[in-house]
């Protein structure tokens, strides 16, 4: 069934290409991918970054991990296979938005390096900027804004990143943000100054 479908798919024609959309918006679409432990501040920093870009006249779209798990990724669990599929769907969604000229901000734990490399491959030829939220596990656990670490320690959440499932620190992120000691608003502003020139060089 899958082989039949793959051999009989013909993408529809497009009369407006990505380059024309980019010129119309006067911006260069890039993908900003936040990664880090739960509680490291990814979603908050991503929201503040989107606000700063919006105020600067940049057309954006924000993809939040929990939001996608409530919709396009609904039904996926937290096994390695399901985590990979969750990230793949997020990356495919980002790729469509990038092709429409938007700057995409994604906030996902994405604990494994092979997952982050998959995101880069799927989103090519657009650049994916990896922003690593560097926050010690004990700080994330003390924050525990959703009560997830407590549930994981009690065995209610299996394969929880940082407790019973590993997080691989990105070996060469485009930017390392010290979210254990700096406020999300300040981190977003710092990141804004790094990515804005990449967006407006078009």
d(CA 18, CA 35): 27
Whether 110 is catalytic is yes
Q: Which CATH number fits domain 18-199: 3.40.50.300, 3.30.360.10, 3.40.50.2020, 3.10.180.10?
A: 3.40.50.300
Q: What is the pLDDT of residue 6?
A: 63
- Kindly tell me if the per-residue pLDDT of 24 is higher than 70: yes
Structure tokens at 43: 């979603």
Give the pLDDT confidence of 132-155 residue by residue, as tens digits.
999 999 999 999 888 999 999 999
Helices (H), 8-136: 18-25, 42-55, 65-69, 80-99, 113-123
Q: Point out which residues pair with 131 in neighbouring strands.
A: 34, 175
Q: Per-residue confidence at 1, pLDDT binned at 50, 70, 90?
A: very low
pTM of the entire predicted model: 0.90
Give the pLDDT confidence of 53-95 residue by residue, as tens digits.
999 999 999 999 889 988 988 888 888 899 999 999 999 999 9
CB 140 within 8 A of CB 162: yes
Q: What is the pLDDT of residue 39?
A: 94
Q: 64-83: buried (b, 16+ CB within 10 Å) or exposed (e) per residue?
A: bbeebbeeebeebebeeeeb
For range 16-40, the mean pLDDT: 92
Decide: residue 91, CB within 10 A, 0-12 exposed, 13-18 middle, 19+ buried.
buried
Given 38, 40, 43, 110, the catalytic residue: 110
CB 144 within 8 A of CB 112: no
């Amino acid at each position: 069934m899958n082989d039949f479908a793959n051999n009989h798919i013909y993408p529809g024609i497009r009369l407006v290409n990505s380059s024309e959309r980019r010129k119309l918006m006067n911006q260069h679409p890039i993908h900003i991918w936040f990664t880090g432990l739960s509680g490291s501040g990814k979603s908050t920093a991503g929201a503040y970054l989107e606000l700063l870009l919006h105020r600067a006249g940049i057309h954006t779209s924000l993809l939040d991990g929990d939001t996608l798990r409530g919709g396009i990724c609904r039904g996926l669990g937290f096994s390695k296979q399901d985590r990979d599929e969750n990230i793949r769907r997020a990356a495919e969604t980002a790729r469509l938005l990038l092709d429409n000229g938007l700057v995409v901000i994604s906030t996902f734990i994405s604990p494994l390096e092979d997952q982050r490399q998959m995101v880069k491959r799927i989103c090519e030829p657009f650049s994916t900027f990896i922003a690593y939220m560097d926050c010690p596990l004990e700080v994330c656990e003390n924050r525990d804004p959703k009560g997830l670490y407590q549930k994981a320690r009690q065995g209610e959440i299996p394969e929880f990143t940082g407790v019973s499932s590993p997080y691989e620190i990105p070996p060469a992120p485009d930017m390392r943000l010290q979210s254990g000691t700096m406020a999300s608003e300040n981190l977003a502003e710092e990141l804004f100054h790094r990515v804005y020139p990449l967006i407006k060089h078009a």
